[in-house]
Amino acid sequence: MVYTLPAALVSCGIKDVDANLLTVAWTGTICTNPPMLYISVRPERHSYNIIKRYMEFTLNLTTASMARATDFCGVRSGRDCDKWAETGLTPVEGVAVGCPYVEQSPLSIECHVKDIIRLGSHDMFVADVVNVIAESSLINPETHAFDLAAAGMMAYSHGGYYALGEKLGHFGFSVKKNKRSNHQNPK
């Protein structure tokens, strides 16, 4: 039970043909060079066959303001309704893939499926990242890093959705040397 997880929307299919949305929490980075990620999907899900047919998808990160739509896309099937219309989310034509991305998402990651690994209840779609679409106002101009706190990202844990909170530190902060010299008196 590895928690907390992202609450992500996966868009797949072709806009105005068979585009659909699926909520996943089982997703993550596999490799940085080359950039790769995975999603795990149950074979009986409507989106499973769409992803398998086109061998591409877009992983759209979600925010607290997207909680209702994200939940809806996880409990309703695209076989029975148009999730785009029902949620009010806006499909935007993909840049490097044929499937749309979610306009309201602060960060969308376009992917080509490299492999499908049958695991049991879920199959893992291993994918190459081919493009990243980030809301420009959330990119720090000095560091070029995505501002997670300003994005209002959402996470999922044990059936609940949670807004992510304050930053607690940065990579390496626990071993960073104090800027003061050891010879200075801290008075």
Flag residues of the chain having pLDDT under 50.
181-183, 185-187
Q: All domains of the chain, ordered by start, with CATH?
A: 5-163 (2.30.110.10)
The pLDDT of residue 182 is 47
| Model-wide pTM > 0.85 | yes
The pLDDT of residue 155 is 92
Mean pLDDT (the chain, rounded)? 92
The pLDDT of residue 181 is 45
The pLDDT of residue 165 is 80
The pLDDT of residue 137 is 94
DSSP string for the chain: ----EE-EEEEES-TTTT-EEEEES-EEEEEETTEEEEEEE-TTSHHHHHHHHHTEEEEEE-BGGGHHHHHHHHHS-TTTS-HHHHHT--EE--SSSSS-EETT-SEEEEEEEEEEEE-SSSEEEEEEEEEEEE-GGGB-TTT--B-HHHHTBEEEETTEEEE-------TTTTTPPPSS-TTS---
The pLDDT of residue 4 is 85
The pLDDT of residue 3 is 79
